[in-house]
Structure 1
Amino acid sequence: MVQINHASFTGLRPTAIWQSAGLLFPGIAVAVLVAVAAQFLSEHYGAPAMLMALLIGLSLNFLSEPETRTAPGIGCAARTVLRLGVALLGARISVEMLTRLGTGMIVLVILGVAATILFAMLAAKLFGRGWRMALLSGGAVAICGASAAMAIAAVLPRTDKSERNLAFTVMAVTILSTVAMIAYPPLSSWFGFDALKSGVFLGGTIHDVAQVVGAGFSVSPEVGETATVVKLIRVAMLAPVVLIFSLVIRAGKLDAGSPGGKRPPLLPGFVLWFLALAALNSAGLIPSLLASLAEEASRWALLTAIAAVGIKTSLVKMIEVGGSAIGLVVVETLFLACFILIGLQSFG
């Protein structure tokens, strides 16, 4: 199979670019079609689009075999399109959204992210899982579900289990996020939270953005707006968390004794773009229409990427992850919910 550098076409002649594009097109087209099908199912039957894209992709695993014409493009979609989607998330972030919440609530949300990741590192040892799974699942639960899982996976040293673990994590956090979308609004009412605390609880604990929006606005518009802002604060934590992971891995603090993994760059290019877009948006330099287009493009890019990840993943191998990994993600989710609940109760 022809090896292609998906990161850049720099230095290629026009003919070579067209040849490379021709090799990539079949696989990318398949991933896009799966994304479109998943979105259709989501809109008409209420199923999470990310989960649908992953499940459909898993059923098409044969298309990722090295001898197929679709393999190069699927690999590109699982990596390059993924990075594009994460980078475009930056256009949704601004400093202005931080002013809508009090300092105490912002600190609580940030501490929730940090505490959940640290808890994941400890819990992983109890569940017999390695540090890669701890960072992947802990970051996904703490920050923004499937999007965070894919961003973190992009900077972890790659192994033969990387695609399997990513697919499992995306599926687990998406399912748990959907359960939380249904269960958490009544729970916030049971605790007697006002609109602010309800929004902080829902936005600070539910994994995926779509489910946060669904849960928040099912209570009231005010709760929905607050929950969305809180969720975006968690999304903003993606860049510093990825940077910290990269620094720790490059320093060899985690990778010692685990050969076979290629170290990520100090700060991946897609994280730089994420930060640049966030800075431009904070400065008011991105028009609202362009920001909306970037948000929509990001959603489709991530949906296409997870479809490609599903196609690259063998369902049999994913099942081999085992019950301990399921338990790990569940306890991480419960820990985050308890942490935010305790924090909100401490505010009186």
Structure 2
Amino acid sequence: MTALVTKWKQCWPGLGVASITGMAALFLSEHYGAPAMLFALLLGMAVSFLYQQDSPCSCGIDFAATTLLRTGVVLLGLRIALGDLVVLGWETALVLALAIFTTILLGVFLARALGFQKRFGALTGGSVSICGASAALAISTILPAGKNHERDTLLTVIGVTAMSTIAMILYPIIAQQLGLTETQSGIFIGGTIHDVAQVVGAGYSISDEAGDLATLTKLVRVAMLMPVVLIMMVVIKHHFKRKNIEADGQVPKLPLFLVGFVVLMLVNSFFTLPEALTSGASDISRFFLVVSITAIGMKSNLGKLAEVGVLPIVLIVTETVWIALLILGYLWWR
């Protein structure tokens, strides 16, 4: 108990700063219509001087960037039910799985071609194909730690958030120009835009029917976060074993937050939960993720970000275009 109190005393200054900054990001997002994740990153980077060696805020910022992050991902499970797959249909669900798989593979190959590590391609590909910044944060926790680990996570969150905002504006226009029906528009929006909030905004800007189907399609993509993370863990372990590399603790174990995500998803699938509970959990999850991104922004080094140049943008844009063309091809064939 004494250790817990001591830990809390060490963490509360940084946790408080990260929480207040996160609330500021949410306030700005609601009043100016821009993504809260983007505001959180920018505000976090603006006060990155708080994260310094021997700073009283360091412990709390680390806590927000790790424990709060995992808790936020766990609570995402209450937004998803297995019945969503049944409603959407096996054919569409299969195409979404194919889109996720091929986008991640494309990211890995492009990352190598552009001079990045393969783990960066897996991170960007998973983020683009599943659920944007939330997926980036979840996947980064199971990737082997490296000297550019936090930089890569930050670059990915910035990139997918920016692309998601652009897509929210452009994709409804594209759907209209291509003459897509409301059903097709819903699948296109939900199957391609990165973040949930932007999917909702784009879908309901077309119609209520398109918005409902876009949200459902997006939640099916979010549900695939768990199998993707598990597959990545298996691949990483196989890589270390095949190369006979000393892991030094880099091989990820099954994270408890992933177990919690699955448990809550199953609970939501087999039990009828009160709307107030699921809505409250969704709001708490969003807040925790915003605060954790704020903390990651505080831990960032702007000099290192500037050194990378435009290549990460090229990578994320290519992945975004790929998944959009794939879903449009399916709708045309269908």
Task: Give the TM-score, by structure 1 length.
Answer: 0.92
Q: Shift of residue 102 of structure 1?
A: 2.7
Q: Shift of residue 95 of structure 1?
A: 1.6
Decide which of 70, 74, 90 is 1:83's aligned counterpart: 70
Superposed CA deviations along residues 46-74 of structure 1, whole A, max 9, x for unmatched, are 11100000011011111111210000110
Distance 1:336 1:305 in 2: 27
The answer as to 2:38 corresponding to 1:39 is no
Structure 2 residue identity aligned to 1:67 = D
Superposed CA deviations along residues 311-342 of structure 1, whole A, max 9, x for unmatched, are 00011112222222211111011111111111
Contact residue 109 and residue 118 of structure 2 kept, 8 A: no
Alignment partner, residue 237 of structure 1: 224
Question: Which one is further off, 247-256 or 228-237?
Answer: 247-256
Decide which of 302, 306, 312 is 2:289's aligned counterpart: 302
Superposed CA deviations along residues 254-312 of structure 1, whole A, max 9, x for unmatched, are 99498887424432100000000000000025332211111111100100100000000
Decide which of 140, 143, 162 is 1:153's aligned counterpart: 140
The answer as to 2:276 corresponding to 1:279 is no
Structure 2 residue identity aligned to 1:269 = L
Superposed CA deviations along residues 97-154 of structure 1, whole A, max 9, x for unmatched, are 2232232222111211111111111222221211111111010001000000000000
Contact residue 240 and residue 251 of structure 2 kept, 8 A: no
The answer as to 2:316 corresponding to 1:329 is yes
Q: Shift of residue 221 of structure 1?
A: 0.6
The answer as to 2:168 corresponding to 1:217 is no
3-state SS, counterpart of residue 293 of structure 1: helix
Contact residue 74 and residue 257 of structure 2 kept, 8 A: yes
Counterpart mapping for 1:36-115 below 5 A: 36-115=23-102
Distance 2:178 2:284 in 1: 38
Alignment partner, residue 9 of structure 1: none
Closer, same or farther: CA 153–80 of 1 in aligned 2, 3 Å: same
Superposed CA deviations along residues 225-248 of structure 1, whole A, max 9, x for unmatched, are 100000001100111111111111
The answer as to 2:107 corresponding to 1:120 is yes
Superposed CA deviations along residues 185-226 of structure 1, whole A, max 9, x for unmatched, are 011111111111100100000000000000000000110010
Structure with the larger helix share:
2
Identity across matched positions, percent: 45
3-state SS, counterpart of residue 252 of structure 1: helix
The answer as to 2:331 corresponding to 1:341 is no
Decide which of 192, 199, 208 is 2:195's aligned counterpart: 208
Unaligned runs of 5+ in 1: 1-13
Distance 1:145 1:254 in 2: 30
The answer as to 2:190 corresponding to 1:193 is no
Contact residue 119 and residue 332 of structure 1 kept, 8 A: yes
Give the number of aligned pairs: 334
Task: Give the TM-score, by structure 2 length.
Answer: 0.96
Decide which of 146, 165, 184 is 2:152's aligned counterpart: 165
Structure 1 residue identity aligned to 2:230 = L
